[in-house]
A and B are shown apart, each in its own frame.
Chain A
Amino acid sequence: MTSDSSAPLAEPQRALEARLAARRGALCAFGRALLGGALFPAFRLRAEPAQTARAAKSAFEAGSLAEVLRLLDARPVTSDDISLTIPDFVENGAMVPVEVTSRVPGAQDIYIISESNPFPLVARFVILEGTDAFVSTRIKVASSCNVHALVHSEGRFLSAVKATTVTVGGCGA
């Protein structure tokens, strides 16, 4: 009885739903094109490729400086345009102040790497439009070693390196 009365309605209902679905599909495609930068190429330049983000994530699991650089696909060149400030001597490796300032045009990311750490990549900062390429923080340094500041700009990697001597390592902290 109910199926009889609903049958004549069901057909137009389905047609309407199909039209709505088609429209949704078109809207989604438009949205995807927008996100993909097809309509606004400038968006594509600013948006971080998913590949870069994944590489950066996996680099945090790397067990050596060489492995970190390999995963980031970085062959850094030392640059005077990067200032890395870290004490020459620290008593407590668990709290080492680090400051990085970059004058490299178009700096997109700043990485801090401590060579002696079990996982050398310490932090990554994504510098967005309108933010200075400067960051100051405190890190753990396992034992006396080189600390690197790596700046990523338009596919290039530039770096500054400084040695620090640690009396009590930061590994147990």
Chain B
Amino acid sequence: MPDPIRIRAQARGGGTDIHVLMPHPMETGFRKDEAGGFLPAHYITDVDIIVAGRTVLKATLSRAVSEDPLLHFRIKGGDPDDRVRVSWVDNWGERRVEESVIKAA
């Protein structure tokens, strides 16, 4: 099981900066192991980010997003202590959900 999602949400200038780090191998399926066989493709396909109960960003990722995908984006508004919920699902059907809160400026 990959490590927990790391979330940093910081209120700033009337908006909120959200940084998300999702530990995941993001295997392309093009890499070979020592035995010469291809490592199976294993990558996050969908990410949903919800702030205070409202979906703010949906992302569809391919195998070409780097290992341990990092997302940085901004929303308008957002109040300190609002809940930030990040969830992903990968092409193997594995899921992970994590929550954090917006920190005051």
State the A residues within 8 Å of B (CB).
Answer: 56-57, 60, 94-96, 114, 117-119, 121-128, 130-132, 134-141, 170-173
Q: How many residues of B contact A (CB 8 A)?
A: 27
Closest chain B residue, CB of each to CB of A138: B66
Q: Is the CB of B57 within 8 A of A125?
A: yes
State the B residues within 8 Å of A (CB).
Answer: 15, 28, 30-31, 54-67, 69-77
> In the bound complex, how far is the Cα of B63 from the Cα of A172, in angstroms?
11
Q: Chain B residues near A56 (CB, 8 Å)?
A: 60
Choose among A123, A131, A173 the residue with the greatest number of B CB atoms under 10 Å from its CB: A131
Give me 7 A-to-B residue pairs in the complex whose CB atoms sit less than 8 angstroms apart, sorted by A's number. Answer: A123-B61, A125-B59, A132-B74, A135-B71, A137-B69, A138-B65, A171-B30
Q: Is the CB of B70 within 8 A of A130?
A: no
Q: Is the CB of B30 within 8 A of A172?
A: yes
CB distance from A112 to the nearest CB of B (A): 9
Q: Is the CB of B75 within 8 A of A123?
A: no
Q: Is the CB of A130 within 8 A of B67?
A: no
> Given that A128-B55, A134-B74 are contacting pairs, would A140 and B66 also be in contact in the complex, using a CB cutoff of 8 Å?
yes
> In the bound complex, how far is the Cα of B63 from the Cα of A88, in angstroms?
23
CB distance from A168 to the nearest CB of B (A): 14
Q: Is the CB of B30 within 8 A of A131?
A: no
Which of B64, B75, B77 contacts A122, CB < 8 Å? B64
> In the bound complex, how far is the Cα of B53 from the Cα of A108, in angstroms?
20
Q: Is the CB of B54 within 8 A of A130?
A: yes
> Given that A57-B60, A123-B61 are contacting pairs, would A130 and B66 also be in contact in the complex, using a CB cutoff of 8 Å?
no
Q: Is the CB of B62 within 8 A of A137?
A: no
Which of B60, B69, B77 contacts A130, CB < 8 Å? B77
CB distance from A47 to the nearest CB of B (A): 12
> In the bound complex, how far is the Cα of B50 from the Cα of A130, in angstroms?
12
Q: Chain A residues near B56 (CB, 8 Å)?
A: 128, 130-131
Choose among A57, A119, A138, A172 the residue with the greatest number of B CB atoms under 10 Å from its CB: A138
> In the bound complex, how far is the Cα of B72 from the Cα of A119, in angstroms?
23
Q: Is the CB of B63 within 8 A of A131?
A: no
Q: Is the CB of A136 within 8 A of B30?
A: no
> In the bound complex, how far is the Cα of B68 from the Cα of A64, in angstroms?
25
> In the bound complex, how far is the Cα of B65 from the Cα of A117, in angstroms?
11
